[in-house]
Amino acid sequence: MVVATGFFDGVHLGHRLVLDELVRVARERGEESAVATLWPHPRNVLQQDARHLRLLTSLEEKKAMMKALGVDRVEVLEFTRRFSALTMEQYLSEIVVGRLGAGTVLLGYDNRIGSDCSSPEDVASVAEALGLEVIRTSPLPAGGRAVSSTRIREALSSGDVKSAAGMLGYAYGLRGVVVAGNCLGRTIGFPTANMKLYEPLKLIPGGGVYLVRVNVLGEEYHGMCNIGCRPTVSGNGAMTIETNIFDFDEDIYGLDMEISFMERIRDEKKFASLNELGRQLAKDREGCLRFI
C-alpha cells in the first residue's frame, strides 16, 4: 500500500500533486492507494484560535474529491487530544505501518507530522528507518508562491473568488438546504433561495454580490448570490446567503442546493428604498449575463 497523510483542506492544486503521484505510483506497482486524513481539524480540538478557523471542504466533500482523483481508500483518523500527543515516529509506526500496513509513504514539501511537528526531512529519515520507502513532492507555484489552504482562505475572505479558484483548481462552492426567508425579493422581481449550510464551519466568501452556478433539482443554472446582512431590508446584522436563480420559478424550500462562485460583481451596500435596490439588482443581473 502507498499512503499519503495530511488534513488536505480544500484538496487544492498543491494537494493534487501529492494525490496524483500517490495514485500513479500505486497503479504502477499494482498496489492500493490510501490517504490518512484527520477530522476534526486539529486547531478546533486544541483550541488554537479555533473561533476564526473556517474550512474549505467538509469531510464528505474532501473524501469525494479524493475518490474522484482515483484514491482507493480514505482513512479518516479521529483527531483527539490523546491522538495529538503522538510523536512523528509513533504516528508512522502505529498508524502508517501498523494500522494501514503501508510500504511507501508520500510526503508533500511542507508535510509536518506528529506532536513534535517534525520537518519532512526528519519524517523521511525516521520513515526509512521503519522500513518505509519515501517519495517527496515539490510545491506548486501560483503567482510565484506555493499554493496553501491559508492563502485560499485569505482570497475567499476578501471576495477574490477568481484567485481562489486558480489555486483550488475548481470554483469554490457552498452546499446547504433552502430555507424560508422574508420573501421581500419576490416583491421587487428578484425572488431568492436562502441557504443554510450543511457544514457550519465552512468558509463563506466575503460579503458582496457574486455570479454563481447553481445546482438544484438535478439541473445547473446561473444566478447571482448576495452574501451579507441585507442592510436595506434588515437591521439585525445576521449573515445570509441568498441566491436569485436566473430563469427559474420552482418551489425548492427544504431541498438541497449547491452554488459555485464564478465572479464577484460588487460590494454589498445599503439602498434608500426597495425600488432603488430593485434597480441595482437589474444592473447586477445584466453584469452577470455579460460574464456568462
pLDDT tens per residue across span 232-265: 666 666 889 999 999 999 999 999 999 999 999 9
What is the average pLDDT value for the chain, to the nearest integer?
A: 92
- pLDDT number for residue 97: 96
Percentage of the chain surpassing pLDDT 70? 95
Of residues 275 and 212, the one with the higher pLDDT is 212
Residue 47 has pLDDT above 70, yes or no: yes
pLDDT at 146: 78
Residue 142's pLDDT band (cuts 50, 70, 90):
low
Task: Answer whether the bond into residue 42 is a cis peptide, omega within 30°.
Answer: no
Q: Is 40 exposed, middle or buried (0-12, 13-18, 19+ CB in 10 A)?
A: middle
What is the model's pTM?
Answer: 0.91
What is the bridge-based pairing of β-strands 133-136 and 104-107?
Answer: parallel
SS3 6: coil
Residue 33 has pLDDT above 90, yes or no: yes
pLDDT of 141 above 70: no
Stretch 5-28: mean pLDDT? 95
**Least confident segment among 62-71, 177-186, 229-238, 272-281:** 229-238
Average of per-residue pLDDT across 138-159: 84
CB-based contact 292:222 (threshold 8 Å): yes
C-alpha cell at 254: 427544504
Higher pLDDT, 91 or 230: 91
Q: Name all contacts of 112-117 with Cβ < 8 Å and 24+ positions apart.
A: 113/5, 113/88, 114/86, 114/87, 114/88, 114/89, 114/90, 115/84, 115/85, 115/86, 115/87, 115/88, 116/87, 116/88
Question: Between vectors from CA 164 to CA 145 and to CA 20, what angle results, nearest 5°?
Answer: 70
Tally Cβ neighbours within 10 Å of residue 82: 8
pLDDT at 140 over 80: no
Helix (H), strand (E), coil (C) string for 124-187: HHHHHHCCCEEEECCCCEECCEECCHHHHHHHHHCCCHHHHHHHHCCCCEEEEEEECCCCHHHH
Cell numbers describing residue 95: 498508524
> pLDDT tens digits for 53-84?
999 999 999 999 999 999 999 999 999 999 99
Instruction: Answer whether residue 30 shows pLDDT above 90.
Output: yes
Lowest mean pLDDT among 4-8, 46-50, 156-160: 46-50
pLDDT at 143 over 70: no
Predicted confidence (pLDDT) at residue 32 exceeds the cutoff of 80: yes
* pLDDT at residue 261 in the model: 98
Report the candidate in 59, 51, 68 with the shortest Cα–Cα distance to residue 16: 68
* Higher per-residue pLDDT: 137 or 157: 157
Round to whole Å and give the CA distance between 98 and 128.
15
Task: Please tell me the predicted confidence (pLDDT) of residue 285.
Answer: 95
Query: Which of 107, 5, 10, 6 lies closest to 62 in space, CA to CA?
Result: 10
pLDDT at residue 158 is higher than 90:
yes
